[in-house]
Amino acid sequence: MGQAGAAGSGCGSRTAPLGSGERVSTVIALLGWREMPTDGVDDYCTFLGEALARHGATLEKYRVEWATSGWTRALLRLWRESAEWRGRWVILQFTCLAWSRRALPFGALAAMAIARMRGARTAVFFHEPYGYDGTRWTDRLRTACQQWVIRQLYRRAERAIFADPLHRIPWFPKNETKAVFIPIGASVPEPPDASSVAAARRANGDRTVAVYCVGDPPYLQEELEDISGALRAVCGNGFKIRVVFFGRGTAEAKEEIREAFEALPVQLQNFGLQPAEAVSRHLAESDVMVCVRGKLFPRRSSAIAGITCGVPMVAYAGACEGTHLAEAGVELVPYRDAHSLGLAMKRLLEDDQHWNEFHVRSVLVHQKYLSWDAIAEKFIAALGLAGKQA
């Protein structure tokens, strides 16, 4: 997925200080290191900013360039350029790696402290509400540091926004009122008419299976083994099967993907990293999306993109039950069960009524939870922004 268009990163116009009786309609998104070649958090802020603008509010991006300037220069620059932030909402966008090369994100605390000293109203969007797992003692030490930083950010923020339902966060304090759950939307544009695209596609008798993004070794080999194993239950059903790979990791895994599918009677295409518009088109033109990069969880951006484009999905159970993703057109099967994965895929490819039910479910979940307008409305309500009146 390509980089979305950049929003402004300056300080913008002065807003009213706290206690003035006016609601603040300009928000600063405070970002850390830019991930390459794509940055999902940056894309998220771009799409959110566009949606807030449609509702009469403004989001400006400010990046703390510690990775290129060093922490001292980056924080001094933040101090100078945040002089106009008094009274504004500043939402720190948190992932562990965005604030440290070694995933020890103490810099996020320093950035928040500067925003608070400048009189800003501070919030944190937890793109990751947990520390990373690991088995080595160094991993366990890193995880403990990450969890400590996450709790400190939560304690010091005026608002805490989570991309996971609050009841699924084990460390979340009981009876807290400053936190809110706001789902992540897709970092791809909505297809213009997914229903028409779907009907035209299925009328031609071919079937397309989409794989959007793959993991790194050794997990890559497990994913390819599961997908190719599932496709064996689909091949020979009278349809011409096309399997398309695109997104992060697919170009680098070109040879592994070719070897995994060379014995199957399918047409294989690998498009590699694609612009956001092309990702949306590939998904909307597919019959089934296979999402097996581990158990499906509520923040899986590739799955959210699939739901946004109305494509039914097969995925592994164990992490999204009881969430909005489970309401969408997603068939959940036991983890690493390629046989069940193949049967679920076969039903969606063969049964038009079953496929349409799943398509409609995804469309409804997108409208209710995942559209950027719905997300913008939740932000406006959570932060008390001045926006357009309904």
pLDDT in tens, 122-174: 999 999 998 887 778 888 898 999 999 999 999 999 999 999 999 889 898 87
Residue 193's pLDDT is 66
The Cα angle at residue 74 between residues 2 and 153, in degrees rounded to 5 = 80
Sign of CA dihedral 293, 153, 176, 55: negative
Write phi, then psi, for 31 (nearest 5 degrees): -110, 155
Q: How confident is the model at residue 36 (pLDDT cuts 50, 70, 90)?
A: confident
Predicted TM-score of the model (pTM): 0.84
Residue 258's pLDDT is 95
Mean pLDDT of 226-244: 87
Q: What pLDDT, in 10s, does the model give residues 309-366?
A: 999 999 999 999 989 999 999 999 999 999 999 999 999 999 999 999 999 999 999 9
CA distance 93 to 31: 5
CA distance 320 to 330: 10
- Checking if the pLDDT of 22 tops 60, the result is no
